[in-house]
Amino acid sequence: MSDQEIIEQLKQGSEAAFRKLVESHQKLVVNTCFGMVHNREDAEDIAQDVFIEVYRSIQQFRADSKLSTWLYRIAVNRSLNHIRDNKKHKWFQSFEKDEEAKSRQLFQVESSAADNPGYEMENKQRAAILYGAINSLPENQKVAFTLNKYEDLSYQEISEVMEMSVSSVESLLFRAKKNLQKKLYQCYKKKCM
Amino acid sequence: MKCKAAHSKLIFFLERELPEPEMKAVQEHLAVCPDCALFAEEMKRTLSILETEKVSEVNPYFYTRVKAKLDRPSEIQLSGIRSSVLVRVLQPVAFSIVLILGVYGGVKMGATGAKTGSAFTAEQEMVPYLNEMDVEPLETFLME
């Protein structure tokens, strides 16, 4: 079933089409969200909301852009909202919630280590450093970098998702990489990697 | 090529995004500079995490979860409203009340402390002075 057919059937309320849409685009959406929030559970939660939003607003989709572009856009916006909400409400978070999050994170790291025997402590540390560096990037640079690295999107595709020119995307990615290199070098100097 | 120049191009070198002459220049520098070569290796390993951390397998229960979430919109909306009311209204109100109580308590305690403190000092200062005047006036003291 092509994207066009999925959209047409979805507009008529077909549940099978929705199932097809979710199954065929699940990896794309979860991966994008994961690239933004760096937490598997949160990424899946956001991805679920992305598909619900698609289902509810499919009538407004005018097919000016590709279905995948629309999905990327919603996934990026939802992830950014999630990050902003987390930042905004961090101050209000109670101690218990912090503890809960810490234990959840610990459980996640342990379970991923158990799932993959080759997963070493060093890799965990490297991942933490890299995610820290990516999270410190300005929003636009982070979005462009995530789409490029996690989804292997071309500059042209990123420009369509972000609704900006290809040269702007090039500039964003150049600055993102420069900033990442700077952060990683600082870390290297401090001997934390 | 100097270390600083090589550092500024390392990430692009690792991504193979430099023009051929620059790629060659960085490569030559790395061959003779162990410090830059070590940093390049570390950065390469760190960036390779991006590949390994990608979501490779799909969650088999994903669609079921989406469907379940979709089928209980009222609950989601209600919990959304509840959480937004809690976060946007109740929490700031609670924090404001605690702040006001704190300030009020502080002012009250300060006022009480100031009152007792001043009364105590006045008493301490006045009584011995008056008594001293009664017992030994200045004229008597000077005459002696």
Nearest to A34 by CA among B68, B56, B11, B67: B56
Q: Which of the residue ranges A38-42, A130-134, B4-8, B27-31 would you say has the lowest mean pLDDT?
A: B4-8
Would you say A83 and A50 are in contact if contact means Cβ atoms under 8 Å apart?
A: no
Contact A184 B12 (CB under 8 A): no
- CB contact (8 A) between residue B10 and residue A181: yes
Q: Which of B14, B48, B53 to mutate to test the interface with A (most CBs of A within 10 A)?
A: B53
pLDDT in tens, B36-66: 898 899 889 888 888 887 777 778 889 999 9
Residue in B39, B49, B59 closest to A127 by CB: B49
B15: in domain:
yes
Q: Do A47 and B65 touch (CB under 8 A)?
A: no
Q: Which residues of B touch A185 (CB under 8 A)?
A: 7, 39
Alpha-carbon distance B66 to nearest alpha carbon in chain A (angstroms): 5
How far from the centroid of its chain's Cα atoms is residue B104's Cα? 27
Q: Which residues in A lie closer than 8 A to residue B10 (C-beta atoms)? A: 181
pLDDT for residue A143 is more than 50: yes
Residues 6+ apart with CB under 8 A from A144: A158, A162, A169, A172, A173, A176
The reply to whether residue A130 touches residue B49, judged by beta carbons under 8 angstroms, is yes
Residue A113: the pLDDT is: 47
CATH class given for the domain over A1-91: mainly alpha
Instruction: Assess if residue B32 is contained within a domain.
Output: yes
What is the Cα–Cα distance from A47 to A15, expressed in whole angstroms? 18
Q: Does B126 map to a domain?
A: yes
Domain positions in chain A are 1-91, 120-193
Place of tokens 């909400």: A85
B112 is a domain residue: yes
Q: Which residue of B has its CA nearest to A49?
A: B66
User: B80 CA to chain A: closest CA distance, Å?
Assistant: 13
Say which DSSP state B13 is in. Answer: H
B55 → closest Cβ in A31, A127, A178: A31
**A120: which DSSP letter?**
-
Task: Quote the minimal CA–CA distance from B22 to chain A in Å.
Answer: 16
Range of the domain at B101: 93-144
Which of B49, B47, B43 has the alpha carbon at shortest distance from B7? B43
How many whole angstroms separate alpha carbon B80 and alpha carbon B71?
Answer: 15
Q: Is the pLDDT of residue A185 over 50?
A: yes
Higher pLDDT, B26 or B119: B26
Nearest to A151 by CA among A56, A59, A45, A71: A71
B39: in domain: yes
User: How far, in Å, CA of A60 to CA of B93, rounded?
Assistant: 39
Q: Do B45 and A185 touch (CB under 8 A)?
A: no
pLDDT at A98 over 60: no
Cβ–Cβ < 8 Å for B1, A167:
no
Please give the CATH number for the structural domain made up of A120-193: 1.10.10.10
Number of domains forming the structure of chain B: 2
pLDDT per residue over A41-72, tens digit each?
899 999 999 999 999 988 888 877 888 999 99
